[in-house]
Amino acid sequence: MALAGCTEQAVRTDRSTSDVEVGARISKNSDVSVGRISPDRMSLALLEVKQKQHRGSRVWCVPFARTVSGIDISGNAKDWWGKAKGHYNRGVTPVPASVLSFKATRKNPNGHVAVVSKVINQRQILISHANWNRNKVSIDMTAVDVSPKNDWSMVRVESMPGQLGSTYPVNGFIYPAGTKTARN
């Protein structure tokens, strides 16, 4: 499956015709603190997606990740890692509400960004992101660290319910302001 790429722009795994995919359960946490996705931010991001779809506009990963995470970076997803340096902490430890930064590849030349919605264990997380499937949002999709050094440098992402797709190189995680975690 070739990705459309992510620049300035929801998929349901229950195979309905909705524009929002839900891989696992949507978090029912109502807090708005750092370290958890704010339900208000998620609602706003989904509203923005719905409005774009209604207008016939493309849905992209960057605006979705920016709205959900509160990380104020613009431009192609492939540039987020570099743009975050000096403005946001970056690292290799997944934290809810952090942004997983995918490197550009031949298959995905603009890179990709996704927001961590839940940490399952050291090598498995749930992510919410836009445009993994063209013009849609995927909520709580599984991402697994498949890197030999357990450093989140390579991941596989759930592409269909219960099925992990190809391996993708990633830069690491960009943390929202105020997140307490080790810097890398």
CATH code for the domain in which residue 152 is found:
3.90.1720.10
Higher-confidence residue of 37 and 90: namely 90
Give the list of residues 6+ apart from residue 174 with CB closer than 8 angstroms, or none: 69, 71, 73, 80, 81, 84, 88, 89, 90, 98, 99, 101
pLDDT of res. 46: 92
157 found inside a domain: yes
Which range of 1-5, 93-97, 156-160, 175-179 scores highest in mean pLDDT? It is 93-97
Does any domain span residue 52? yes
Residues facing 22 on adjacent strands: 139
Average pLDDT over residues 48-73: 93
Can you give the pLDDT at residue 162? 86
- Structural domain including 74 reads 20-174
**Angle between helices 39-55 and 61-69 in degrees, nearest 10:** 150
| pLDDT computed for residue 16 by the predictor | 37
Using DSSP's 3-state secondary structure scheme, residue 6 falls into coil
| Predicted TM-score (pTM) above 0.85 | no
Residue 8 lies in a domain: no
Q: Which of 39-43, 107-111, 112-116, 180-184 is predicted least confidently?
A: 180-184
What would the mean pLDDT of 118-124 be, rounded to a whole number?
95
Domain contains 144: yes
**Percentage of residues in the chain having pLDDT higher than 90:** 67
**For residue 21, what pLDDT is reported?**
43
**Total count of domains within the chain:** 1
Question: What is the model's pLDDT at position 180?
Answer: 62
Mean pLDDT of 123-134: 94
